Amino acid sequence: MNALVNEFIIKLKKRKIEGSKTTAKLTAEVLRSCISQQRLPQTNQADALIDAIRGIGEKLIAANPVELAVGNIVRRVLNIIREEDVSLTAAAVGGLGISAGSDDEDDVLPDDHQGLSAAAVAAAARNTLRPPSLQTLLEDIPQSTAVPRTSSSGGDSEGKSKSADKNSTSKKLKHNVIEAVNELIQDIATCHEQIAEQAVEHIHHNEVILTLGNSRTVMEFLCAAKEKKRSFRVFVAEGAPRYQGHALAKELVARGLQTTVITDSAVFAVISRVNMVVVGAHTVMANGGVIAPVGMNMVALAAQRHAVPFVVLAGTHKLCPLYPHNPEVLLNELKSPAELLDFGEFSDCLDFGSSSGSPLLHVVNPAFDYVPPNLVSLFITDTGGHNASFMYRLIADYYSADDIVVKQKSIS
């Protein structure tokens, strides 16, 4: 397990893994392997599993703090463990007949349910306030009431039964968590298709769409509208200095879309002819702000100035429960100056032999831009379209407040 985690950490540090989707999927697969190999104690199994994932997640996040998809998946998995623990505890509480309104402080769980955490028991007990259905009453009959116990079997058989129940609870928790993580991986793999299915609702005949960067989600979204016999034109800003727009334009032309490549500085000049701006995102923050490729804020300001809808496409794995002002959020990183200037041509300007001891020319090449939520008209995720003001509520469905800061609790 350590070898697998260390190998993934090295890839993250060396930036060998690019793209939020690829990073999120690989992170979920690594955590799934760690869960399957993790040995759980007899008691407080969910807490032990959460601590283990916290420790691994802290290392993964530190390896590449800019790639917020890593932290998103770690928090999603932690939330999955909590939900599965509550679900199993609810079934156990229903079988044991623990009352949510009981004031008896001497109520304790039997030995074969000591693996359940106290927090999960409390959460599950609150669920018993809901009136059960007839099917629930029939299915949740405790095994002890159906088959009476006899003392003739002796203490050894009773001890073996308790040990088997504990092992069964441990295996069931891990099995349920792994199944939920598999569903998460499947959701990440199919997010493009889920978002592309909504394209026909937003793109209409004879419209002009503007985009920036090279997002596969945007490409599939536009191509899906083309397949539905929508006739429209796409303006692609080239996305200097990496010119990712050139690759996107080539893909769109290959798929039969009418495409026009423009320079980034020409966005304001052509925005009045545009019906809608459709872009991808690196991360969507809890306040509805967007971390996107550099230059995106300029496009958003141009769209707002000319009352053009600014639509952001993002899978749910890109939804981050953090706010831009959180100290653990690293909003940007600087790329190589060689993408902007040729070192041989400007070597004289970069000479350190000046009297001040520092070069006269400095090169800053940021990778990302921040778009505030007031500039975003609509978010389209694999769960549907949402306003920026609703993103905090959508994010709350996927994360637990206890996992906002992924850091192992120090034992004093």
pLDDT in tens, 117-154: 656 655 555 554 455 555 555 555 554 444 444 444 55
Measured on CA atoms in the order 27, 116, 45, 182, is the torsion positive or negative? negative
The mean pLDDT value of the chain amounts to 85
Neighbours of 323 (CB within 10 A): 13
How confident is the model at residue 120, as a pLDDT? 61
CA dihedral 62, 325, 396, 309 (to 10 degrees): -110
**405: DSSP letter:** S
Q: List, in sequence order, every residue forming a beta bridge with 313; answer none if it has no partner.
A: 380
Per-residue pLDDT tens digits for 248-295: 999 999 999 999 999 999 999 999 999 999 999 999 999 999 999 999
Of 53-62, 353-362, 396-405, the poorest mean pLDDT is in: 353-362
Tokens of 406: 């992924």
Q: Return phi, psi of residue 141, to 5°.
A: -70, 125
Per-residue pLDDT tens digits for 303-318: 999 999 999 999 999 9
* DSSP string for 319-370: B-SS-TT-TT-----B--GGGTS-TTTTTTTT-TTSTTSS-S-----B-EEE
User: Three-state SS for 410?
Assistant: coil
**240: DSSP letter:** T
User: Three-state SS for 206?
Assistant: coil
Between 406 and 407, name the one with better pLDDT.
406
How confident is the model at residue 146, as a pLDDT? 44
How confident is the model at residue 409, as a pLDDT? 61
How confident is the model at residue 343, as a pLDDT? 78
Q: How far is CA 26 from CA 19, 172, 406, in A?
A: 11, 24, 18
CA angle 197, 212, 376 (to 5 degrees): 70
Per the CB < 8 A criterion, the answer to whether 188 and 317 are in contact is yes
What global pTM score does this model have? 0.82
Nearest C-alpha neighbor of 55 from the set 411, 412, 320, 331: 411
> What is the arithmetic mean of pLDDT over 183-190?
96
Sheet architecture: strand order including 283-284:
283-284, 290-293, 368-371
Position 328 confidence tier, pLDDT thresholds 50, 70, 90: confident
% of the chain residues with pLDDT over 70: 78
